[in-house]
Chains A and B, each alone.
Chain A
Amino acid sequence: MTLISAPVDNGINLQALLDAREALSDSPEAAEFQWRATCSWVNGTHSRTTVEGFRGLCEEQVHQTAFHYDVDHPLCFASEDHGPTPTEIVLVGLAGCLTAGVAAVAQRRGIQLRSVTATLTGDMSVLGVLGADPDIRNGFRGIEVHFDIDADAPPADVEALVAGSQKRSAVYDALTNPTPVTVSVN
């Protein structure tokens, strides 16, 4: 008897990704993307950021809809808690990037995923941002990401999925390596 296994489907269009890699390698200008966000102050520590347009594949692009993000601070910061803190938004970005990577790498390696849960923690002392201790940095002291993954693969292959995802993650790279940030004002 031969068991015919169902084709691996993690909802990733692998062929499109492979084709894109091939095509963009030959025309690197099309691989240039610019991501954008526009933020308006609402009140206090509350702001609203809109993400809609971006540039890539040599032309202007738009999302299917505009996405809005309320960002604020919790009550214990004497704020009104209209949304997550900016630091939590950073965790959102990292989690989304690594999880997408896990799915893509799993598809490439023929691994069927059943469930993927990432739990992130980022530690910091707010004495930095409060300006109370110059020896403490403003940002995270460190970030920990824990994945719980149920998949049709031995543990070493699942570990390799997660390692491979980090290797190809834009946000992981942005957080682990310095990036020049230029801020201007009208």
Chain B
Amino acid sequence: MGELRTVTQAVLRKDAWAKVTGQAKYASDVAVADMLHMKLLFAGRPHAYIRSIDTMAANNAAGVAAIFTADDVPVNRRGLITPDQQVFCDKKVRFVGDQVCAVVADTREQAAAAAELVKVVYEDQPVLDDPLKAMVEGAALVHNDKPGNLCHTVRLRRGDADAALAQADLVVEREYFTPMQEHAYLEPEAGLGYIDEQGRVAVRTSGQCTHDDLRQIAKALDIPKDAVRVIYGAIGGAFGGREDISVQIALALAAWKLRRAVKITWSREESIVGHGKRHAIIARHKWGARRDGTLLAAKVEVISDAGAYNYTSGDVLTNFLYSAIGAYEIPNVSVDGYAVHTNNVPGGAFRGFGSPQATFAAELQVEHIAEELGLDSITIRLRNCVRDGAILATQSEIPAGVSLRELIEACAREIGASRQQGNGWEMPTVEANEPHKRRGIGIAAAMKNTGFGWGFPEGSEARVALHGGAEIDWAEVHTAAPDVGQGAHSVLAQIAAEVLNIPLDRVRMVTSDTADIGDSGPASASRLTMFAGNAVKQAAEQALHQWSLEERPAVGGGRWNAPATTKPDPETGACVNSISYAYGTQAVEVEVDLETGEIEILNVVAAHDAGRAINPQQVIGQLQGGMIQAQGWALSENMVSEGGYVKTDRLSTYLIPTTLDVTPNIKCVFVHQSDPVGPFGARGVGEIGVVPLAPAIVSAVHDAVGVWFDRIPLNPERVIAGLRDACN
């Protein structure tokens, strides 16, 4: 590989100009003349049979063009993985955000007013708001075909965990709880459905995979895929919350039936109730270690709140098969996982896809083991962390290029820890300036897979066209990879410019339109730089070859197929689960106010491996943004759901971090271990930033006040209660 020109440079994002001038069109900004407006009627109750739906009064209301119910949907099923949800419910509603009908009218106000006139007679059923209660024999069923309310189970056996625990010098057994998390992307769900110039039903919206949306629309409308078109414009954040359907099918149905443009924009309350959440997880861990800190065995039980429908619950749970033991090599592992249906808002994809919850418990287990053995936790991490040649819990060898050991050391040094003679590490002692405050430092390490893995046949499509005569005047890069804000389109343009050896401003991106390009796969699993990046690289190389054959324009492209992974064995979980991982270690210094229970983050060190970063500025942006989401999850974001009703459905009650909650002292440290699969050696970094911070904060709080917390968020009430319990 020669010297790189564009890749590795902090080039300016291609979309930034339009965004800072207000010219960028997000889904809610799109309007056409004579469009109609839609209101989706939510169930508004968590569990009930529908006895009747009377739309007559609503139909007669001013301005109403149509009302669509279950009767109007040709194949009334939806679901990204499992078609277990009705597009419009007519038999049963299973959570407050289930959709019952769509009211379409001349104005937004008319649609909303008419929706209130729809008379639905419900027969309420017992509400399951707790997965532990939902698992009990005799509990009411959310789905009649899911006995025990079991949505999905997973099982892994490596070695003999029970035997190894019996022989361990130390056994630590604890239970952890991590809560639901709301994505709170700033742009609520919105979209415009219309009939395009070729007669296709088109939906212009914000999502995470145009082709997954298209597939579900075509299926529900029972029309061929080529009669459907999905287009994304500027997308106001996603973080996993846009993987499942929100408004897409309803918009397509209305436009298809009415042959008119129909628009919807959800309110913040509808957004919070209407899309899936990070799964709440109960994790029971029993780990065994030798006196010297060597981890011998881990026995883990994971219970996740799947909520009302599967969404991605099964897949998130499957990810615990490797991540439940954190970033460690442990020879004896047993994992049993249960995703349990309740009448809560469905659990779904959220940045990290189970890894933040898994890492929370695993990293705190390491801390407890260190404390009980009288060792420092950095030593235990270094002794047991994955390295090249390590065998994962899934009994496959970790892909080459593991940098975690270097990251742990770099992070520890940067936060002020020092290696002692005798090989241990000592954390610095930090003291508060006020008598009612205490300071402490904590650290945590993590890994996160890139790409889905687990046997899913993965790839990405791209096409590159080169225009010009003797020289390449400009190149067109076609991809369906969604730029949800992470900067994917700019990274792909950089990769094309590098391969083609042309300036970046001669690369034109044509993006996210199913009428233009095949499936590039979703913006999820930190995968676009690696998967869509390799597809663009391959397409650019093919186009260059055609160029050399004097083709004008010279076109290359097709599907890039990722190296294969395999499905987990149902009994042992054995498989090749992933082709690549991102690694990171984060340390944090906190100050705890003993009187108010408030926790202030003073310093953060984030040591990460981006491989060869395509755009270092954007990598830092991903890490900083991920860390602040993790800070919110750990401290202030308290998703309250009572009896299936969401009590925190506004940004005034669900508190995401502001500039005043975030420390200016965040230092990023990099180790660059090229990924063998990534284009130019790049790694996926979209998720790893969100993974280790929460357990690092809990450890730092323990360092400050001597109290271990096993659940988050550490809001002032919980901290004060914990301090009080410790005194008694």
Instruction: State yes or no: do A and B come from one complex.
Output: no
Residue positions of B touching A, CB distance < 8 A: none
